[in-house]
Amino acid sequence: MQLEVLQRRENPLLKRVEVTFKAIHKSEPTPTRDALRAFLAKELKATKDIVVIDSQASTFGRYETVGYAKVYKTKEEALALERKHILVRNRLIEPEVKEKEAAPKPERPAPAPKAEKPAAAPKPEPPKSEAKAEPKAEKAPPKDEKKPAAKEEKKPAEKKDEKKEEKKAEPKKKGGK
């Protein structure tokens, strides 16, 4: 892999050197951030822990990667100035791990257990001598016991769809009189 520094700019206020680079990697896959950091450290005569690669991009079908990196004076300055996700990508800090089951949130009270509906009693097998009309009458509950359904509110998009369907259902009149 060959590494070219395309642009090098000193930034004394932030105590760093900003570098635009191009890595040519024929017969190799796209280099990792760690490999690029090591090559940049050699090229710029710095240690690997003060080199931070901000971005890198490869073009499809080409064997080159173009990127932007920053070389700080000390690791402490890099940790103070760089964004956390960039530091995590460059493995200068460990990612924060969210604990899922370690501590439940005390703010929300536990949901009240829902009353279970009694399971349907096992159906007794009707004797073969009895008529079948009686079990059917027991199975079907009267319709009067059902609660009336609340009127559903429809979204404006659904209303438009209904209007379109109504227009399609109406036959079109062709011709004049």
Instruction: Tell whether 49 is covered by a domain.
Output: yes
Instruction: Tell whether 137 is covered by a domain.
Output: no
Domain enclosing residue 7, as ranges: 2-89
Instruction: Tell whether 54 is covered by a domain.
Output: yes
Q: What is the pLDDT of residue 139?
A: 57
Beta strands 64-72 and 16-24 are antiparallel
Q: What is the pLDDT of residue 173?
A: 61
What b/e readout covers 48-60, taking b as 16+ CB neighbours within 10 angstroms?
A: ebbbbbeebebee
Q: What is the pLDDT of residue 20?
A: 98
Instruction: Tell whether 136 is covered by a domain.
Output: no
Instruction: Tell whether 84 is covered by a domain.
Output: yes
Instruction: Tell whether 118 is covered by a domain.
Output: no
CATH code of residue 41: 3.30.70.330
Instruction: Tell whether 29 is covered by a domain.
Output: yes
Q: What is the pLDDT of residue 161?
A: 76
For CA atoms 7, 12, 13, 14, the dihedral sign is positive
Instruction: Tell whether 144 is covered by a domain.
Output: no
Q: What is the pLDDT of residue 152?
A: 61
Residue with tokens 């199975």: 139
> What is the residue-level pLDDT of the chain in tens, covering all 177 positions?
899 999 999 999 999 999 999 999 998 999 999 999 999 999 999 999 999 999 999 989 999 999 999 999 999 999 999 999 999 999 999 988 887 765 555 566 666 666 666 566 666 665 665 555 555 555 555 555 555 555 566 666 777 777 777 777 666 666 655
Domain total in the chain: 1
Q: What is the enclosing helix (H) or strand (E) of 66? A: strand 64-72
